[in-house]
Structure 1
Amino acid sequence: MAAPQFLTSNQGRAAQAAMLADGRRLHLQDGPIDLIIEATGDPRAVRHAYAAATQRFAGLLDALCAELPALRTPAGRDMPPPAHPVAQRMADAVAPFADEVFITPMAAVAGAVADDILKALICPGITRAYVNNGGDISLHLTQGASFTVGLVDRPDQPRLVGRAEIDADSAVRGVATSGWRGRSFSLGIADAVTILAPTAAMADAAATLIANAVDLPGHRGIVREAANELQPDSDLGTLQVTRHVPRLGPAERDAALAAGVTVARALLARGLICAAALHLQGETASAGTTNFVSLPPQQEQPDA
């Protein structure tokens, strides 16, 4: 799931870094940024990678907060050029959509952070690595390595309903999920939209757009509220975000999912994403060549 579409400073407190109890994964946390990181390979390389990731993470939140006015500006020619590499990743990820829809670089913040920290992890001797930023995942896979992505249909009541296998030959190196039930605001009614893309930042931006497109405009039972009434500094301003979706009929669910699939197929045709899985009230639709496999109960758990 995408991280909240706002950033707040940690008020001078140092970022937290610690190994998890399993001894394999690194936890980095600073304010709203919460990362789970795992690298595999030569033990010396893994130690070096974790130290590099920790160093790269230090000060990142404050650097992004310093650029918030620009990052909350709608993407396009009038947007001030970002200075920090992560801010630039955010701007680059949303740029392909700037002429078509309202979108700000904040739509790609979680994925861009994951991509940047992953870059610090990659060094000789690392065979596989991932950075999981609240469900937005950036991947590094060498030949023979693979990664299993778990799909959930409701982030507020998480349960695995499917999976996708990603191998080193795939173009997929980023995963992101968005929807109205997640921590980010959404203009649509999708419970969850999971995107596989070449980068986590692009997956994050595309998940936002496709989740917005899963909608039934004008439906009287859908409750919406101005984003800035809920979060005064929201980059969405007065745009109406979804707060409640009633139980929909089969035809309504099909129509809303079809609208999202249309957008997903357009992004596939442009090479911006690799696959999409859209969930709405127990119904699922997908687009792309990646096979999303239903996950029977008690089956082996995915990597993330």
Structure 2
Amino acid sequence: MSRVQARMLPDGRRLHLNDGPIDLIIGADGTAEAVALAFDAAQIRFATVLDELCAELTLLRRPVGPMPQGVIARRMWTATTRVAGNHFITPMAAVAGAVADEMRDAVCAAAPLTRVFVNNGGDIAFHLMAGAAYDVGLISRPDRPSLFSTARIEAEDPVRGIATSGWRGRSFSLGIADAVTVLAESAATADAAATLIANAVDLPGHPAVTRVPAQDLQPDSDLGSRPVTRAVGPLTRKEIAAALGSGVAFAEALIAERCIVAAALHLAGENRMLGNTLGRLNAKGQGQEVPRLG
């Protein structure tokens, strides 16, 4: 029996794909024939993704080094190399975004489509033809998802990927950000950048922060013995501002280097917004039905 599961969601418009730890929701706009061809192509490509990644997993769990061989692994390596600088990161920091990018490209190669999104647990790759747009929901805490705003992404924007990271999310974080959402030219780049910015939102050695070696929680973690955040106690407004300030400085450097387009940082109810695309925020969080971040 194949371990890959595929089904249309009840709305009849979105495809749900699952294989072990990879869980995707894909939406596509176009003619009925084009969408059917695209979803067939998605299932064919998805069936190979997990095995392709597992073949190079040992290399992908190491700090960025030699370029791997697989198509998705190369996307991961390229994204993390671009944003790493002197900071610790492994290609695994971009795995969810890279899978989303690859699946988006497989769908778009199969048929002409107006819009496409591939949502891999909140890391989203999308395609927009001229004149098309998405209103994307933003959240400040992945563990209690509720929209605090939306950002409109138009075809003319350089953004084709969105990702969120933070200690409250599904992955480990070295920092204390509740969430950091990044908009970039690819989901893989957004994924890697969100990881590093979230790591930078920190108060090293603060007694209110509980940390545990990553390998104690997940023996095969790419973070090894590095302490990851498990709880954040009460912080003063000054401490919150200081932690966010460190993340803002890192994000501003990535924007200046044109690695990312925009970022939204959240900690203890405080938010920081950077980048021109986020200037189109709708503070009431209202817009079209959209893929939600987080």
Letter of the 1:287 partner, please give it. L
AA at the equivalent of 1:225: V
User: Which of 178, 181, 187 is the aligned partner of 1:191?
Assistant: 178
Separation in structure 1 between the aligned mates of residue 222 and residue 34 of structure 2, nearest angstrom: 40
Q: Structure 1 residues 287, 239: CA separation in 2 closer, same or farther (over 3 Å shift)?
A: same
Which of residues 276, 281, 290 in structure 2 aligns to 1:293? 281
The residue type paired with residue 296 of structure 1 is K
CA contact (8 A) 2:151 2:282 kept: no
Report what 1:20 is aligned to. 9
Amino acid across the alignment from 2:227: Q
Partner Cα separation in structure 2 for residue 215 and residue 99 of structure 1: 18
Whole-angstrom distance in 1 between the partners of 2:82 and 2:138: 26
Deviations 1:108-167 (A, max 9, x none): 000000000000111443111010000000010001100111111111111111111000
Amino acid at match of 2:61: R
* Alignment-derived partner of residue 80 in structure 2: 94
| Pairs aligned (count) | 289
Name the TM-score, length of structure 2 as normaliser: 0.95
User: Is contact 1:93-1:202 (8 Å) kept?
Assistant: yes
Structure number with higher helix proportion: 2
Q: Higher mean Cα deviation, 288-297 or 176-185?
A: 288-297
CA contact (8 A) 1:193 1:276 kept: yes
How far the C-alpha of 1:13 sits from its partner, in A, is 4.0
Asked whether 1:232 is paired with 2:232, we answer no
Structure 1 counterpart of 2:157: 170
RMSD: 1.4
CA apart distance, 1:81: 3.0
Report the Cα offset of residue 107 of structure 1: 0.1
- Corresponding residue number in structure 2 for 1:82: 68
Q: Percent identity?
A: 57
Structure 1 portions without partners, runs of 5+: 1-11
Matched, 1:48 2:37: yes
Indicate conservation of the 8 Å contact 1:150/1:162, yes or no: yes
Name stretches of at least 5 consecutive residues in structure 2 with no aligned partner: none
Q: Tell me which amino acid in the other structure corresponds to 1:71.
A: L
Partner of 1:34: 23
Alpha-carbon distance in 2 for matches of 1:97, 1:239:
20
Aligned residue among 246, 249, 258 for 2:245 = 258
Deviations 1:39-93 (A, max 9, x none): 1112211111111111010121122112110000100xxx343121001111111
Structure 2 match to 1:113: 99
Contact 1:213 1:260 in 2 (8 A): yes
Cα distance, 1:217 vs structure 2: 1.1
* Greater displacement, 204-213 / 41-50: 41-50
Aligned-partner SS, 1:95? helix
Report the CA distance between 1:98 and its aligned residue: 4.1
1:284 aligns with 2:271: yes
Give how far 1:296 is off: 2.7
Give the Cα separation in 2 of the matches to 1:292 and 1:253: 26
Deviation at 1:97, TM superposition (A): 3.6
| Helix, strand or coil at the partner of 1:157 | coil
Contact kept? 2:17, 2:25, Cα under 8 Å: yes
Secondary structure, counterpart of 1:59 in structure 2: helix
Instruction: Give the counterpart letter for 2:119 in structure 1.
Output: N
The more displaced of 30-39 and 59-68 is 59-68
1:275 aligned onto 2:262? yes
Q: 1:185 to 1:84 in 2, by over 3 A?
A: same
Query: CA 1:244–1:301 in 2, change beyond 3 Å: closer, same or farther?
Result: farther
SS at match of 2:215: helix
Write the distance in 1 (CA, Å) between the matches of 2:133 and 2:55: 37
SS in 2 for 1:58: helix
TM-score (norm 1): 0.92
The range that moved more, 45-54 or 206-215, is 45-54
Counterparts of 1:150 and 1:280, CA distance in 2: 18
Match of 1:62 in 2: 51
* Deviation (angstroms), 1:99: 4.1
User: Partner residue of 1:3?
Assistant: none
- Taking the aligned partners of 1:99 and 1:199, their CA distance within structure 2 comes to 18
* Structure-2 separation of matches of 1:81 and 1:263: 25
Q: After alignment, is 124-133 or 257-266 more displaced?
A: 124-133
Contact 1:129 1:139 in 2 (8 A): yes
Which amino acid in the other structure matches residue 209 of structure 1? L
d(CA) in 2 for partners of 1:170, 1:98: 24
